[in-house]
Amino acid sequence: METSVETVVASFDIIESIRKHIAQLKPLMPKRGLVCIGEYPAKILLKEPFVETTSGILPIFIQKSSEEILRTQSIAGSHDVLGVDADVDTHFWFNVNSYLAKNEGYAARLKSMTENLHETILFVSLWEGLGSALLPTLISQFKTANANSVTLAVLPSKAQPSDAHFNALASIGMCASNDAAAVVLLGRDFVEDYVGVDRNGSRMKGNSIINYLLEMMLAKETLTQELSELSRAFNVKMYTILSVTGASFKVYGSFETMLDAASLNPFLSFDLSSASVLYVLVRVPLHLKDKLPRGKIELATAKWSKRILSIKSIYVSEPIYVDDASDRVDAVVFAGSFDLAELTAFLQKKVARIKNETVKKGLIKEKEWESIVKSLNDSQ
């Protein structure tokens, strides 16, 4: 009998030990991720420390050279950095797609790095072949896994050559064919020319604004779920952003006035009046909670949006309240399903020559390209 009792006790102790071990492992297996694809996004992220201090977020870097990333940062281990074989051509999106089709090992590694994520923000530069090809692939993977994803996608500057725009047009066209796409388009020229202030009243210039936006997006745990649901409900594929940062409530006087200021700070040349849905993300000092609760922000946004003739839905997320002695408010408006005709026409004109050359060389098929452009036109 003693042996039997000892066995029962020993078995109970083992089970309890396993439970404790699993509990300890849970913090090491984040369900939220930040996937950075390409050299341009990596350089922006790595110059700011906020990712290091954001708990519960798995940073993943995908780039041409994994060794370069590992040398220049400390926020991700080697298992969270994925490079491409050194001899692989990644200049164009179709080069990368060909590599993915032939290299099952890379495709499997890519899937294994992201398969446990339930909520993911992707940050990608669309002019790089790697980012333009992998973005549609990852969006499809997340859709298959019933995971939510939102993408900050930077379009090339108008000054960049036609190959950059060729990659960008292909990427957003392929994304537009996916029902799960929630792609936030940012123009590189707007990003690099940005001038504003942060919550401390300090001046912000250039692409540091992207880190500021990502910090807000990551602070809102339900953002990817809410924006994905809104996208599915109204079949919205493409968004862009209007923002006002570090806005003094005392100076502006009302949230409507802040939205007026945000409309002067778009991140893409587009017609706001053609947008059909709005998603509003706000960060407010805790001591202003009574003056700026969610309900008042909703009403102010509804009044402000009367200028948007085709509006179908406005979703104001529960504000992010922070312990801050200042009166500075951050507001980001995601405007979705706006008219893409001007952007599409510009990109098609910019890439016409290089598209014809690649078709003539047999690198892509004419019907394949027509399908990509059609998906983008149909998403409007």
Over residues 279-335, the pLDDT tens digits come to: 999 999 999 999 999 999 999 999 999 989 889 999 999 999 999 999 999 999 999
Split at pLDDT 50, 70, 90, the class of 378 is: confident
Measure the CA–CA gap between 156 and 127, rounded to whole angstroms: 6
281 near 334, Cβ under 8 Å?
yes
Residue 180 has what DSSP assignment? Answer: T
181 near 139, Cβ under 8 Å?
yes
Measure the CA–CA gap between 145 and 116, rounded to whole angstroms: 9
Structure tokens of 357? 């050359």
pLDDT at 177 over 80: yes
Residue 353 three-state SS: helix
Measure the CA–CA gap between 249 and 254, rounded to whole angstroms: 7
Residue 183 three-state SS: strand
Say what the pLDDT of residue 191 is: 97
- 260, 284, 274, 269: which is closest to 333 by C-alpha? 260
The arithmetic mean of pLDDT across residues 9-19, rounded, is: 53
Distance of CA 242 to the CA centre of its chain: 15
367 near 278, Cβ under 8 Å?
no
Helix (H), strand (E), coil (C) string for 233-272: HHCCCEEEEEEEEEEEHHHHCCHHHHHHHHCCCECCCCCH
pLDDT in tens, 144-156: 999 999 999 999 9
pLDDT at 26 over 50: no
Structure tokens of 265? 């700070």
Split at pLDDT 50, 70, 90, the class of 380 is: low
Residue 278 has what DSSP assignment? Answer: E
Q: Whole-prediction pTM value? A: 0.89
Distance of CA 164 to the CA centre of its chain: 20
pLDDT at 239 over 50: yes
Share of the chain above pLDDT 90, in %: 73
